[in-house]
Structure 1
Amino acid sequence: MDAHSFSCKPDENATFSPPAAADLSKYNIVIAYPLCGVFVRKGGKIAIDRDGGLTLGDSHYPSGDFCVDTFLENGLRKQEVLSCHRPSKWIRVRTYLFPACKVISLIFLSITIACHLFVPRLLAHGGLYLMCYAVSLFTAFSTGFSVNVFHEHLGDSSCVNLAIAMQFGFIATFFWLNVMCFETWRKIRGLAYQKRSRPFPSGIYVLYGWGAPSCICTITIVMQHLAPDNVWGVIKPYIGISRCWFREDIGLLLYFYGPISFAATCSSVFIVLTFINYKTILRNFMTMSGPQRERDREVEPDKKARPPKLPPVQITGPIQDFSTKMKLFSLMVFCWITEILSWKIPPMELWALTDTLNSLQGLFIFIIFLLNRHKRALVEEKFPLPFNLARRCQKLMGKAAPNQSKGSSESIPHEKDNNSTVSSVSMDLPKTTATS
């Protein structure tokens, strides 16, 4: 078996003589895969017992759950095992849970995109970049959903195409987050140094946000179809060999996690610089408002002078943008740090909660979008009905709460003593009677 393509090839130099407790001539050697849907490649000390079962380390596999063969990898031949991977309870649960969570994310991502399309004023001041960010994540989640649900019915070409589309969507998500962090940093820096920032051509942002992921995916496609096998120094993606994704960790690191790490690092740098400039704005405003506080202290010496807040008209928009980008960046960093940790630190059950939260990113992005007061007001102006319904539900819940508390207080029995009787009667009498 070729270790890179996972396909059997004729080889006159290969010998098949695994250690067995009985004579192998008494067995029928079958050229096939294990009798299970999911299997993994394992190496180690191989031992086949008299019943045809396999002992590999601390695990034992019946005859139908493994195959032993000579693997050819980088010119070296070694005997290894393809063994069945029996899914745990969590794996069976996530088979249905993750697609459902991704559907929820896709619904809320669609709402976010539709709000930007039907409310053109949202596209101003960086709103276009947030919409592109949502479109990228929608592409990644929709292709991931298709792979999870229809993987048994996908052909080789469809499997590779969906994997490339998912790679493009996730990488573009980070690159558009990079664009938003850079644009916010430019605005805050202009306020900090009281310089009007020059308008940056949006075409450059579009070229960077869509063009860079397209180039990375194009290189991946070229290496997938044109790169030779088993050549030292050539890292081939090997997409769609054993699953609709990268087969080896080195290819996943080079073509996927590498570009994402670059974009995330750039975004973190812009976030830090933006926070430093924000502190500069605070210091400048406190310096400018110092004389006014001194005059207030002279007029009202007994009143404690509090530092005034920043004038909302001047920096409300950029600061809210910075808050939104900070929340999006924190969300993406949390999701991908836990994703990488779950990739390398077993068992998968340990990361059940974080993986579920990762699949609900679309919902959290919609919540972060609505937390921006200016954007929420624009959406409410265009679509007032959902907000009115939400307010009515809130009022009904508010009315129900006092009634419940009143009913609970009435159900408490009063103590039958003179003091309680006099006090209760006094509360019911008119004011003059109670006084007399």
Structure 2
Amino acid sequence: MCLLLSMLVKLLLTVFLFQTCQSEDLCSVISHTNRTTYSTKSQENCGCAETRCIRKCCKLGFALQKNKICLKRTSDEPFQVPLYIKHTSFSTILSGRNISRFKVGILKCKFFKLDRDNPEDAFFIQENGDLWMPSNGKSYGNGEYCLDERNGLTAFVCFDNNSSELQEVLAEDAESTGMLISMPFLAITFIVYALLPDKNLYQYALMIYVLTLFLAYLQLVLINYITLIENEACILIGYLTLFSFTTSFFWLNVICFDIWFTFSRGRSIVGGRRSSEIKKLGFYSIYAFGVPLVLIILVYLLQTEFLDPLSIHNPKIGKGKCFLETGWPSLWYLYLEAGLIIIANLVFFSWTAVSIRKVKKETAMLKHNDSKRHAYEKSQKKFNLFIKLAFAMGINWSTEIISWFVNWQTDSAYSKIWIVTDCVNALYGVFIFFIFVFKKKTWRLLKRRYYAFRGKVYLAHSMGGTSSRPTNISTTESTVTTTVNGARRPEDNILLHDRR
């Protein structure tokens, strides 16, 4: 399903973000268009024998970028192809002006770019039109490769149908599609909570978490789908993406900590003043924004000052791609931090679950009292809700880290197995929406806000929660019950702040 949606998304992006070529003259030596990009599925033989053609990806003056988009070259260097016979014996240099030797058209297969700096990716174009690679001794016909000029002669080669690299690309496409689907739900969740009246600290933290996750998804999708060349913009968006993901992890940690703190110190929360809530949000912000900022500065210094550019531990953001290099850099600078945060969150979750269970036992002793029984039943519902919240608040990141580690260690040999989990993880925003927004209480509060804005006070009062003094209550109902010890404890809500 995700793969089908991925293909649809790529088609829509091609149509709306770029000018689609309707009748492009692919064999023209002189460009008659002022356009800087074009995209077309067509191909054209410019006069060579079909089996001996040399394949160029884009028409002369253009070079292939991501998502099968041809971008106009800024360099005046001529397009030239060295030709060889008997694999490595140099024959001659073929000029792009000799267009009759070329077949022009973007490959229809899933393909990858050969790395000129990697000896394993060395290639030689043969006089008969084939591309030969000494690393695997394989020849590729002109239906399996194409050439273009991107800071030097560059070759693109089709993936083998059953290769692990192809499965990895399909997994990335599925994950990017899931993120595209999640983004509107994350945006709606943020907007809804921004409109809710009398927000508490927990809701503000949730808003910031959702916003940073939305920005992280947006930037990663831009990296995967939009044409970005290795330049300052590419490096900038790479670091911003890393900062957004890291910040979202830390705000997730803030939420889990605050939930634990509220349950474990319930008596100190009740009666809290708004000024103390703002102060605490300020401390949380320093932590959740400050630590990621320090980490990003450290990553930048490691990449530019302290690590060798060829080191396997160098982040290499903007080198080859706009995000972290696969392997050790992804471990050190993304997944290690995410893993530590997840462990901390699971600890907070376990402690909170123990606190809730303790309260349940205390209220269970009062079940024969109807009013107390009602409070007990609501507490049971809220305990179940917290389990859902815990899942939505980060447990799914565990499968993300596990799938990345397995793919890394097995060279993506089992990536097909993890496509489903990666796609589900990318749909995280949908889960957040249905858990935090898709509730009667939330819609009732939105109606109350709407009627109050329109001046229909009587209708706003009919929505409930019409106390004349402001309260700091979350979107689910709150009650305070008396335990067997006579102490007042927050029974029904994760955050209960009744300001008196």
Q: Please state which band the TM-score falls in when normalised by the shorter chain.
A: 0.5 to 0.7
1:333 aligns with 2:398: yes
**Pairwise CA distance, 1:177:** 1.0
Question: Aligned residue for 1:103?
Answer: 180
CA contact (8 A) 1:113 1:135 kept: yes
d(CA) in 2 for partners of 1:90, 1:229: 31
Shifted more, 273-282 versus 88-97: the winner is 88-97
1:146-185 deviation line (CA, Å, top 9, x unaligned): 11222x3434111111111111111111111111111111
Q: Give the 3 Å change call, closer, same or farther, for CA 83–110 of structure 1 in structure 2.
A: closer
Question: Of 182, 195, 215, which aligns to 1:118?
Answer: 195
d(CA) in 2 for partners of 1:27, 1:221: 45
TM-score (normalizing by structure 1): 0.61
Q: Give the 3 Å change call, closer, same or farther, for CA 158–24 of structure 1 in structure 2.
A: same
d(CA) in 1 for partners of 2:323, 2:185: 26
1:189 aligns with 2:254: no
Task: Determine helix, strand or coil for the equivalent of 1:53.
Answer: strand
Question: Aligned residue for 1:271?
Answer: 349
**Pairwise CA distance, 1:106:** 1.6
Q: Give the 3 Å change call, closer, same or farther, for CA 24–148 of structure 1 in structure 2.
A: closer
1:104-127 deviation line (CA, Å, top 9, x unaligned): 322111111111222243x31500
Question: Aligned residue for 2:490?
Answer: none
1:309-324 to structure 2, matched below 5 A, reads 310-311=375-376, 320=385, 323-324=388-389
Q: Give the 3 Å change call, closer, same or farther, for CA 174–39 of structure 1 in structure 2.
A: same
1:255-301 deviation line (CA, Å, top 9, x unaligned): 11121111111111111111111111122223x42xx75xx9xxxxx
Give the partner amino acid of 2:195.
Answer: F
d(CA) in 1 for partners of 2:414, 2:348: 35
Give the partner amino acid of 1:160.
Answer: I
Give the helix-richer structure, 1 or 2. 1
**Pairwise CA distance, 1:42:** 7.2
Q: Give the 3 Å change call, closer, same or farther, for CA 274–373 of structure 1 in structure 2.
A: farther
**Pairwise CA distance, 1:326:** 4.1
Q: Give the 3 Å change call, closer, same or farther, for CA 206–86 of structure 1 in structure 2.
A: same
**Pairwise CA distance, 1:321:** 5.6
Question: Aligned residue for 2:445?
Answer: 378
Task: Determine helix, strand or coil for the equivalent of 2:437.
Answer: helix
Q: Give the 3 Å change call, closer, same or farther, for CA 63–227 of structure 1 in structure 2.
A: farther
Question: Aligned residue for 1:355?
Answer: 422
Question: Aligned residue for 1:239?
Answer: 317
**Pairwise CA distance, 1:245:** 1.5
Question: Aligned residue for 2:292?
Answer: 213
Give the partner amino acid of 1:86.
Answer: F
Q: Give the 3 Å change call, closer, same or farther, for CA 94–255 of structure 1 in structure 2.
A: closer
Larger radius of gyration: 1
1:308-339 deviation line (CA, Å, top 9, x unaligned): 46446789778856642443223333444444
CA contact (8 A) 2:185 2:429 kept: yes
CA contact (8 A) 1:187 1:318 kept: no
Give the partner amino acid of 2:211.
Answer: V
CA contact (8 A) 2:178 2:426 kept: yes
CA contact (8 A) 2:388 2:435 kept: no
Q: CA RMSD in A?
A: 4.4
1:345-401 deviation line (CA, Å, top 9, x unaligned): 4244333322322332222211111255544432343369xxxxxxxxxxxxxxxxx
d(CA) in 1 for partners of 2:221, 2:88: 45
Q: Give the 3 Å change call, closer, same or farther, for CA 374–342 of structure 1 in structure 2.
A: farther
Q: Give the 3 Å change call, closer, same or farther, for CA 277–111 of structure 1 in structure 2.
A: same
1:259 aligns with 2:324: no
Gaps of at least 5 residues in structure 1 are 1-19, 67-81, 297-304, 385-436
Q: Percentage identity across aligned positions?
A: 19
Question: Of 214, 220, 223, which aligns to 1:144?
Answer: 220
d(CA) in 1 for partners of 2:390, 2:443: 16
Task: Determine helix, strand or coil for the equivalent of 1:136.
Answer: helix
1:5-154 to structure 2, matched below 5 A, reads 24-27=88-91, 38-39=113-114, 41=118, 53-54=132-133, 56=135, 60-62=138-140, 84=157, 86=159, 100-121=177-198, 123-150=199-226, 152-154=227-229
Give the strand-richer structure, 1 or 2. 2
Task: State how many pairs are aligned.
Answer: 328
Gaps of at least 5 residues in structure 2 are 1-83, 95-106, 146-154, 452-500
